[in-house]
Amino acid sequence: MADYVIETWELSKQYEGRGGCKNVTLQVPRGSVFGFLGQNGAGKSTFVRTLLGLLHPTGGKGVMLGEPIGSVESRQKVGYLPELFRYPDWLTGQQLLEHHAELCGLSSSTRKTVIRDVVARVGLAGREKERIRGYSKGMQQRIGLACALLSDPELIFLDEPTSALDPIGRKEVRELIAELRDQGKTIFLNSHLLSEMESVCDHVGIIHRGELVVHGEWKKLNAVLPQVELTLGNDSEAALEQLPSFVQQKSRVKSEAELEQWLVTLDGEGRVPQLLEALLARGVAVHEVVRKRQSLEEVFLYWVQRKEGEAHVADHENHV
Ligand SMILES: Nc1ncnc2c1ncn2[C@@H]1O[C@H](COP(=O)(O)OP(=O)(O)O)[C@@H](O)[C@H]1O
Ligand SMILES: [Mg+2]
CA atoms in the 13 A half-sphere facing the CB of 293: 7
Distance CA 165, CA 172 (A): 10
Distance CA 8, CA 227 (A): 33
Q: Where in the chain is the domain with CATH 3.40.50.300?
A: 4-217
Residue 30's nearest CA partner among 6, 62, 66 is 6
C-beta of 38 in contact with ligand 1 (< 6 A): yes
Report the CATH number of the 227-292 domain. 3.30.70
- 210, 15 in Cβ contact below 8 A? no
Distance CA 37, CA 18 (A): 20
> What residues contact 15, with CB distance under 8 A and at least 6 apart?
none
Three-state DSSP class for 158? strand
Strand-pair partners of 255: 260
**Structure confidence at residue 67 (pLDDT):** 96
C-beta of 42 in contact with ligand 1 (< 6 A): yes
| CATH homologous superfamily of 4-217 | P-loop containing nucleotide triphosphate hydrolases (3.40.50.300)
**Structure confidence at residue 258 (pLDDT):** 83
**Structure confidence at residue 295 (pLDDT):** 79
**Chain-centre distance for alpha carbon 158:** 11
**Structure confidence at residue 58 (pLDDT):** 98
C-beta of 44 in contact with ligand 1 (< 6 A): yes
The ligand 1 atom nearest the CA atom of 16: 4
- 81, 164 in Cβ contact below 8 A? no
* Cα separation of the two ends of the chain: 46
**Per-chain residues with Cβ under 5 A from ion ligand 2:** 44-45, 83
Put residue 77 in one of left, alpha, beta given phi > 0 → left and psi -120 to 50 → alpha: alpha
What is the enclosing helix (H) or strand (E) of 19?
A: strand 18-29
Distance CA 212, CA 8 (A): 12
Put residue 111 in one of left, alpha, beta given phi > 0 → left and psi -120 to 50 → alpha: alpha
Distances (CA, A) of 207 to 104, 304, 310, 314: 32, 9, 15, 19
Distances (CA, A) of 110 to 140, 153, 154, 219: 24, 16, 19, 41
Single-letter amino acid code for the residue at 316: H
Residue 36's nearest CA partner among 174, 180, 193 is 193
**Residue to mutate (ligand 1; options 11, 12, 15; most atoms within 8 A of CB):** 15
Q: For 66, phi and psi rounded to 5 degrees?
A: 80, 0
**Structure confidence at residue 320 (pLDDT):** 37
- 223, 269 in Cβ contact below 8 A? yes
Nearest ligand to the CA of 15 is: 1
Q: What are the 10-residue block averages of pLDDT along the chain, 320 residues in total? A: 91 96 97 95 97 96 96 91 83 94 87 93 90 87 89 93 80 86 94 84 94 90 78 82 75 82 82 87 90 81 82 53
Q: Where in the chain is the domain with CATH 3.30.70?
A: 227-292
**Chain-centre distance for alpha carbon 140:** 22
